[in-house]
Amino acid sequence: MVISLFLQLLLLVFEVLACDKLQNDRHLWTLVFIPLIFISVLSIAVCIWAVKHDRSFELELFCSVNVLQFIFLALQLDKFIVWSWVVVFVPLWIVMCLAVIGVL
């Protein structure tokens, strides 16, 4: 319960930072995405714990598999990398393909 509350608070921090970044140009997108990256790392541990204790972990699983996506997005928005957007979203396409294979 406490871990879920902490994850939800980190999501709120990300949303507040994203709104602030969109209104003012005070900081980098990389700083905005730090809560999501931290959630992703923490979600890996939560997923392992949830499997061992037969709990549901849909949000945590989604966050943990998208850690690379969050990093690529932040770097592309700050123009640290100059890749095509197609390349930036490759991790998302991989996750979607695996989800489709899992459903079939």
Confidence of residue 57 (pLDDT cuts 50, 70, 90): low
Q: Is 12 exposed, middle or buried (0-12, 13-18, 19+ CB in 10 A)?
A: exposed
Q: Which residues contact 65 (CB under 8 A, 6 or more apart)?
A: 95
Confidence of residue 72 (pLDDT cuts 50, 70, 90): very high
Q: How far is CA 25 from the centre of its chain?
A: 22
Confidence of residue 103 (pLDDT cuts 50, 70, 90): confident
Token readout for 77 is 């928005």
Token readout for 30 is 């990389």
Residue 36 CB neighbour total at 10 angstroms: 23
Tell me what pLDDT residue 59 has: 65
Token readout for 10 is 């980190």
Confidence of residue 104 (pLDDT cuts 50, 70, 90): confident
User: Domain range holding 39?
Assistant: 2-103
The total domain count for the chain is 1
